[in-house]
A and B are shown apart, each in its own frame.
Chain A
Amino acid sequence: MLSLLVLLGVLIGVGLWAVGIYNGLVAGRNAYKNAFAQIDVQLTRRHDLIPNLVEVAKGYMKHEREALEAVIRARSQAVTAQDAAKANPGDPATMAALSGAENQLTATLGRLFALSEAYPDLKANQNMMQLSEELTSTENKVAFARQAYNDAVMAFNNRVQMFPGNIVAGMFNFVAAALLEIDNPAKREAPQVKFG
């Protein structure tokens, strides 16, 4: 009788412990999904700004069609990758695709900005200055939101992979999430505004 009670107590203890770990895993997964949602907001903003930027640049950079079209192409690929990532944040394949597409977009934008050096009128354009300020800010926000996402992913992965959490994680099919690596384009030379 006594041993039965002890056994029951141990079972209940183990059950409660497993429930605690399970809840921790769910909380961790929600945390990194939420962190990804923050990146998603900023990426959407980045992708929304680019057509305007290209539109303004077109008026001045008539001979740089290739560079402008490369930006537009990279943008539409990035939008596709973003939609896929949003549907499945943390998945290694979609995260890699997203980071590749964003880096490609950054590279084409970098080329566009480098070319724009030759067009002082464009650099002095009010809309262009506003748009590039917004773009810089949005890219910084992506970078900071990405830090938060990567921190959340690391905390979640630790829970999934460390013993004894990995037992519960395996039972309920929690898999480690992927970090998101996007180059920080903030170092790109933004149009310098002079005062005084």
Chain B
Amino acid sequence: MDFFGAQEHARRQSRRLLWLFALAVLAIVGAMDLVVLGVLELGADPRHVASGGLLDRNGPALVATTLLTLAVIGFASVFKIARLRAGGAAVARELGATLVPTDTRDPLLRRLRNVVEEVAIASGVPVPQVFVLEDEEGINAFAAGYAPGDAAVAVTRGALERLSRDELQGVIAHEFSHVLNGDMRLNIRLMGVLFGILVLAIVGREVLLRMRGGNNRNAVAILLIAVGLLVIGYAGLFCGRLIKAGVSRQREYLADAAAVQFTRQPEGIAGALKKIAASQGGSKLTQHDAEEISHMLFGDGVGYSALFATHPPSSIAFAGSNQASIQTN
């Protein structure tokens, strides 16, 4: 099995999607410019039209719009990223996970710690803090943390009890790939920018809700721009989410291939994926704020429709050494 080739393919695909994401942000800025341009041109008093070309007349307004849009997205992103970039342990605790002490005597927890230490050696990543989601019966796991140094790995009680040692090793190796490849950081940044785009829409909505009477030209112009903000914001959010989900799926393929590279045994991760597919509870988490970590989860924890799914429908295809599914994705 060519797990290095599969990883390179997934990396290339996610790079492409990231460019697309940047392009989407630029498109949002461009669309805002168009709205402002339209409002200014249509609303201009024909008697007072200044001379010169379209851009000459509206240049300053367009520059201001571009800068303002970028500033709103930028500041909102930075704000969101700062809030999300807490260490892995903090994220895990927020989700109700309990720390597994290094000297635990419980056989299942002992096995979990051992497996984590093994994979740490295999992947060359420092041993992260280990957590258990005690109340979750589904089979799932996540890695959290902004950098490998402050990473945490958590698994559900269901994963501890229902997976064999090799399967658990495969799952943990998959999570280590997220740590090693900086997927948590990537995901948090994408979420930050998405939040910035959402803020555009929110600004539009708030302006619309607060508008009172006023029948003059300015009120109409503001109304039009607010509607523009709302529409562009939500359309941008929609596209951004699609792309982010696409990036997520590529990182999952990457993690599956890396898991096989670390453990040199594809049976483990394949078995775990099959057990999730076969079991009643699957990988669903009962927690509701699971979206922030949905990307880092081993199995799909939220249950979106296919377009927004952060996880491929079944990466068994890869683990079962059928590479066709990767090539076509």
Chain A residues at the B interface, C-beta cutoff of 8 Å: 38, 129-130, 133-134, 136-137, 140-141, 144-145, 147-148, 190, 193, 195-196
Name the residue on A nearest B116 (C-beta).
Answer: A137
Interface pair A137/B114, CB less than 8 Å apart:
yes
Chain B residues lying within 8 Å of A133, measured Cβ to Cβ, are 107, 110-111, 114
Chain B residues at the A interface, C-beta cutoff of 8 Å: 107, 110-111, 114-115, 117-119, 121-122, 124, 161, 165, 169, 262, 264
Chain A residues lying within 8 Å of B161, measured Cβ to Cβ, are 195-196
Interface pair A137/B117, CB less than 8 Å apart:
yes
Return B159 CB to nearest CB of chain A, in Å.
12
Q: Give 6 CB contacts A-B under 8 Å.
A: A136-B165, A137-B114, A137-B115, A137-B117, A144-B121, A190-B165
Closest 5 CB pairs of A and B: A137-B114, A144-B122, A144-B121, A140-B118, A195-B161
Chain A residues lying within 8 Å of B117, measured Cβ to Cβ, are 137, 141
Chain A residues lying within 8 Å of B110, measured Cβ to Cβ, are 130, 133-134
Name the residue on B nearest A126 (C-beta).
Answer: B107
C-alpha spacing A144/B118, complex, angstroms:
7
Give the A-B pair count, Cβ closer than 8 A.
Answer: 37
C-alpha spacing A140/B166, complex, angstroms:
11
Return B268 CB to nearest CB of chain A, in Å.
11
Return A190 CB to nearest CB of chain B, in Å.
7
Name the residue on B nearest A140 (C-beta).
Answer: B118
C-alpha spacing A134/B113, complex, angstroms:
11
Chain A residues lying within 8 Å of B169, measured Cβ to Cβ, are 140
C-alpha spacing A38/B124, complex, angstroms:
11
Interface pair B107/A130, CB less than 8 Å apart:
yes
Name the residue on B nearest A129 (C-beta).
Answer: B107
* Seed contacts A137-B111, A140-B114, A190-B165; 9 additional CB < 8 Å A-B pairs: A133-B111, A134-B110, A134-B114, A136-B165, A137-B115, A140-B118, A141-B117, A148-B124, A193-B107
Name the residue on A nearest B164 (C-beta).
Answer: A192
Chain A residues lying within 8 Å of B124, measured Cβ to Cβ, are 148
Name the residue on A nearest B105 (C-beta).
Answer: A130
Interface pair B121/A38, CB less than 8 Å apart:
yes
Return B160 CB to nearest CB of chain A, in Å.
9
Interface pair A137/B118, CB less than 8 Å apart:
yes
Chain B residues lying within 8 Å of A136, measured Cβ to Cβ, are 114, 165
